Amino acid sequence: MVILMTVLFLILATFFFRKNNSRKNLNLPPVVKSWPLVGALYMLAKDPVNLIRKNYQKHGSVFTVKVFGQSITLLIGPEVSKHFYTAPDSELSQDELRQSTIPMFGPNVFIGAPTELRQQQTQFLLKGLRPQLLRCYVDQIVAEVQDYFSKWLDCGTVNLVHELEHLITLTSSRCLLGRDVRNNLNEEVTALVEDIAGGLRPIKEQKTLLARHGLKIDFDILKEMDVLYRCIKEALRIGITPVIIPRYCHKNFTVSTKEGNEYTIPKGHIVATSLVAAHRVDHVFKDPGRYDPDRHLPAGQKDMPSQPFSFIAFGGGRHTCPGEAFSYLQLKIIWSYLIRNFDLDLVSAFSVGEWDGTDELLVHYKRRHLSI
Ligand code: HEM
Ligand SMILES: *[C@@H]1O[C@H](CO)[C@@H](O)[C@H](O)[C@H]1NC(C)=O
């Protein structure tokens, strides 16, 4: 699926922006060696994550991949990403590349919609995500979640991906009724799965909250679920599907790498960042393949300070995801409910960091009441 999307992105990008970028006097980024014409298309289509990872090791945080003459420049890691996230749309724009964001959107959301209509849709959506409204959604989501899990038996085996897809569709459409919701289910489900892997501390946290507040769940109690929050965040870091965030470059700009190299990215390039690659940069995330929710402890409580634009599951800067708070709210409600009411055992083979979000994921559940 992701591979298909990548190919589609590259083909479309190629047709829209066929141009020649000459290497003149400017210090352009290193170009990935590949077959002429077809360029890196084959490599990208086959295994985009691997292509990006290999060339990151070889060239560092900035390099260019050519497909049918179109240059796609990857910017990986916080040092080279500031302009990418903060530049005005007139310099780095999304519009030309709408098609390529397909992996991030549901099938009928935004795609193909003329800009004006899309802006209206976004405005409408944003209204529903206003912070003061989030507080009101808690009861609705809790009711939906209770209702959903009341249909589970006393014990059984389910495909959790499938179950949560259903549930998240229900809760999202209940709160944001009539609003189009982006389809990021893969990411969300991955998050949930990773929480099982790191489940002991979230369980302890739920016990503490049960002792403090009883069964009640409200906005403020959700705010106390710090451990769960960090588990979800870490899951989004490590397990996010290999999405590329692209922009079209309308104006030359310069980046400096950690090693002190300066590169000019010229007008006409497609500029992109890879979530998977950025989340595995090892001078930012120590031992990046390890699931470690404590990376997300507040500054002062951990040894590695976080830099802006290092955790980019929700993008960053100008186009940062407006659905972030809502997503955490929803995931915390679902997961605290699951932890409190079910014993869960993973049946499918599962390896942290290697799951691509598309497989089925079998989980055995057994009803229980978490005792204090
Ligand atoms: C775990 C769940 C989610 C993830 C991982 C996620 C991820 C992202 C990312 C990476 C971007 C930036 C794309 C870019 O820079 O081109 C983005 C933008 C966006 N997201 Fe989300 N998202 C999630 C949930 C949601 C929800 C629930 C909504 C709405 C109800 C939403 C609405 C949007 C919108 C409207 C944008 C576009 C913002 C802009 O272009 O200025 N997202 N999201
Ligand atoms: C932008 O970069 C191109 C080289 O790719 C160069 O020919 C051009 O002069 C640059 N434009 C500016 C305004 O620096």
pLDDT tens figures, 161-198:
888 878 888 888 777 754 444 444 455 555 555 555 45
Q: Is the model's pLDDT at 348 over the cut of 90?
A: no
Which residue has the CA at smallest separation from atom 11 of ligand 2?
Answer: 252
27 vs 9: CA distance, rounded Å? 27
Probe target for ligand 1 pocket from 120, 182, 245, 330, with the most ligand atoms within 8 Å of CB: 182
What spacing in Å lies between the alpha carbon of 324 and ligand 1's midpoint?
7
pTM of the full predicted structure?
Answer: 0.85
Q: Which atom of ligand 1 is nearest to the CA of 312?
A: 10
Q: Residue 122 CA: which ligand 1 atom is closest?
A: 35
Does any ligand 2 atom lie closer than 6 A to the CB of residue 29? no
CA distances from 100 to 104, 114, 272 (A): 9, 15, 11
- Residue that wins the pLDDT comparison between 264 and 136: 264
Each residue's pLDDT tens digit, 198-242: 568 899 999 999 999 999 999 999 999 999 999 989 888 887 666
Name the pairing type of β-strands 253-256 and 155-159. Answer: unpaired
Q: Domains of the chain (ranges plus CATH)?
A: 2-105+242-278 (3.30.43.20), 122-238+322-367 (1.10.630.10)
The pLDDT assigned to 27 comes to 94
Which ligand 1 atom is at minimum distance from the Cα of 240? 5
**Interval 327-342: pLDDT, tens:** 999 999 999 999 999 9
Q: Computed from CA positions of residues 247, 248, 250, 253, in that sequence, does the dihedral angle turn out positive or negative?
A: positive
Distance separating alpha carbons of residues 124 and 126, to the nearest angstrom: 5
250 CB near ligand 2 (under 6 Å): no
96, 171, 194, 321: residue to mutate for ligand 1 pocket, most atoms within 8 A of CB:
321
Write the pLDDT tens digit of every residue in 39-76.
566 666 667 778 888 999 999 999 999 887 889 999 99
